[in-house]
Structure 1
Amino acid sequence: MPGLDDHACQSAYSDPGQYTGLIDALPSDLPGIGEVVRNLLIHYRGGGIEFTGDRLAEIDNRWIDTLIGVDQSRNGDPLAVPREPFNRVVGCCRDFTLLTVAALRHKGIPARSRIGFATYFAAEFNHDHVVTEYWNGDRWVWADTQLDPADGGVFDPLDLPPGTMISAAQVWTDYRRGLVDPELYGATDEFKGAWFIRDYVYLELAHRMRDELLLWDIWGEMSADLPADLTATDELAALLLAADAGDPTAESALTDLYTPPLRPTTTVQTLSPTGHHRPTTLRPAA
């Protein structure tokens, strides 16, 4: 099962490869890393610029070395040198998080990406979101480096308070207990509801196991329709929550479960927001 030492090592997705030297030069503190991440990336929907064509296609750059390569082909400067917003790499919350995770792992700090729903982007809707979770020496801390702490929000985005970001497993469990309306959780009016939450439980497991897939990758048990029997998803969500609570038996059980079809094999189907739907060949796990 992935332990602290595993989370301090790069995955196939977070490995900067030939750009390791550029990561060497980054700050070692989370605020400094976050500043660089926001300098390199712009959100494809929330960045205030409408991107189309090849620029919008940058959202499908799943590997960090590819993402940095796009930046370097366009800018060619050290990563901390300011970029104009239009010249930043187009991505989403998953990319802000994975670049943060890559930088922390490079510094020997255990880190992983967490999948769930944020309560702080809209008053009456909980948007799908990905944030960083890192080990500060005493506990796992959830941090959203897409947000600038200098903007003066009501909470510190680098140490998210309970209830601001809720894991997919917790939302699924609350839905199954009748505690939440699933129609208030999702990405858009089209992509929301119980089926969407269920798919994100499987995505949460993959990211926990260091397969930091795109939010629009699908494989295995994922479906836009709810199956008749939801027991397997209930049990998986319960294990994820128990592992979050520090239960090593649950953590070990998740590792044992993470085989096909829960684990993607060599390909996934990518249903990109660009409108291009295609199979994608994955790199071998690191």
Structure 2
Amino acid sequence: MNKAELLQYYTKFTPYTDPGEYGYLFHELPRGLPELCHLIKCQLIHPSMIKKVRHSLTHFTKNEDEKFYQVTEMLEALVERNADGITFDRLPSERLLISCRFHSLLLISMLRSQGIPVRCRVGFASYLSENHRKYIDHWICEVWDDTEKRWIRVDPDLELIDIQGDEFLMAGDAWLMARDKEINPQLFGVKKSWGMHYIRNNLCYDLNAILGNELRYWDYPPLCQKEMDELDWEELQLLDEIALYLQDPDENHDQLQALFLEHDFLHFKG
């Protein structure tokens, strides 16, 4: 597809980002990225922050990621906790305790409701680690800036706009760097899970996200259910090819789609 068709593609809701019957909640949203990101933080709390706000929580005190898959489910829960909408600063007890994927999906849903091209990207953020020494698993958004004619990286969880350089490494970049021994794969992951398998998993998630399948981070495609030493040469070459195409997902969108359709083991079968 050409550039105009591609941008139009990224204004369309996916099953995961469609607000459904709760689309009315978006009618009075602000239009600026800083304002939208701030508003999202008035609705959501990342589970890593629970300890800091636990004294303000009541019924919901643990990570709620497993309760939700789609934006419709998130909006339904927000309305159940306070029906006054999503354009105000909720009490902590009225917010959802969910991670970066869900922050990104909500921003995508909001922006697409305004006709703005946006997509989810999966990779690793150095700004989440102490002294930027490691790259932490993270999901962000790419938003099309029609003035500058480029994608800008936006982290709604940290309220960061136009992330630069290697502060956020796309999964494809991390894969190629690790395969070429330019960087230690043990620097990539989260908590007690680090290494090449984590980069591979995020590479498959990023491929899916580019194609409109914003999987949850425990929705492993069959290829990601293998140990790394169980991957054969052809599978490794395929992952290399995906990572190379993801260097320019606009130019290579059709090739990425073709590879995805050709190989069932890249699909999550829930």
Q: Report the TM-score when normalising by structure 2.
A: 0.88
Equivalent in the alignment of 1:131: 140
Count of aligned pairs: 253
Aligned equivalents of 1:176, 1:3: Cα separation in 2: 30
2:240 maps to which of 230, 234, 247: 234
Equivalent in the alignment of 1:78: 85
How far does residue 223 in structure 1 lie from its aligned partner after superposition?
Answer: 2.5
2:151 maps to which of 140, 143, 155: 140
Aligned equivalents of 1:141, 1:63: Cα separation in 2: 24
Aligned equivalents of 2:37, 2:197: Cα separation in 1: 32
Aligned residue for 1:166, secondary structure, equals strand
Moved more, 220-229 or 164-173: 220-229
Aligned residue for 2:120, secondary structure, equals strand
1:16 aligned onto 2:43: no
Aligned equivalents of 1:101, 1:136: Cα separation in 2: 14
2:266 maps to which of 262, 268, 273: 262
How far does residue 6 in structure 1 lie from its aligned partner after superposition?
Answer: 1.1
Equivalent in the alignment of 2:217: 215
Please tell me the residue identity of whatever aligns with 1:12. P
Please tell me the residue identity of whatever aligns with 1:142. R
Aligned equivalents of 1:94, 1:201: Cα separation in 2: 15
Change in CA separation of 1:147 and 1:54 when aligned onto 2, cut-off 3 Å: closer
Contact 1:219 1:264 in 2 (8 A): yes
Aligned equivalents of 1:220, 1:81: Cα separation in 2: 42
Please tell me the residue identity of whatever aligns with 1:59. D
Contact 1:196 1:224 in 2 (8 A): no
How far does residue 10 in structure 1 lie from its aligned partner after superposition?
Answer: 0.7
Contact 2:58 2:93 in 1 (8 A): no
Q: Over aligned residues, Cα RMSD in angstroms? A: 1.9
Please tell me the residue identity of whatever aligns with 1:198. R
The structure in which a higher percent of residues are helix is 2
Aligned equivalents of 1:21, 1:55: Cα separation in 2: 28
Aligned equivalents of 1:53, 1:219: Cα separation in 2: 34
The answer for unaligned runs of 5 or more in structure 2 is: none
Equivalent in the alignment of 1:26: 29
Equivalent in the alignment of 1:194: 196
Contact 1:126 1:184 in 2 (8 A): yes
Aligned equivalents of 1:13, 1:5: Cα separation in 2: 17
Equivalent residues in 2 for 1:76-225, closer than 5 Å: 76-122=83-129, 123=131, 124-137=133-146, 138-148=149-159, 157-189=160-192, 191-223=193-225, 225=227
How far does residue 53 in structure 1 lie from its aligned partner after superposition?
Answer: 9.3
Q: Report the TM-score when normalising by structure 1.
A: 0.83
The answer for unaligned runs of 5 or more in structure 1 is: 149-156, 268-286
Contact 2:60 2:93 in 1 (8 A): no
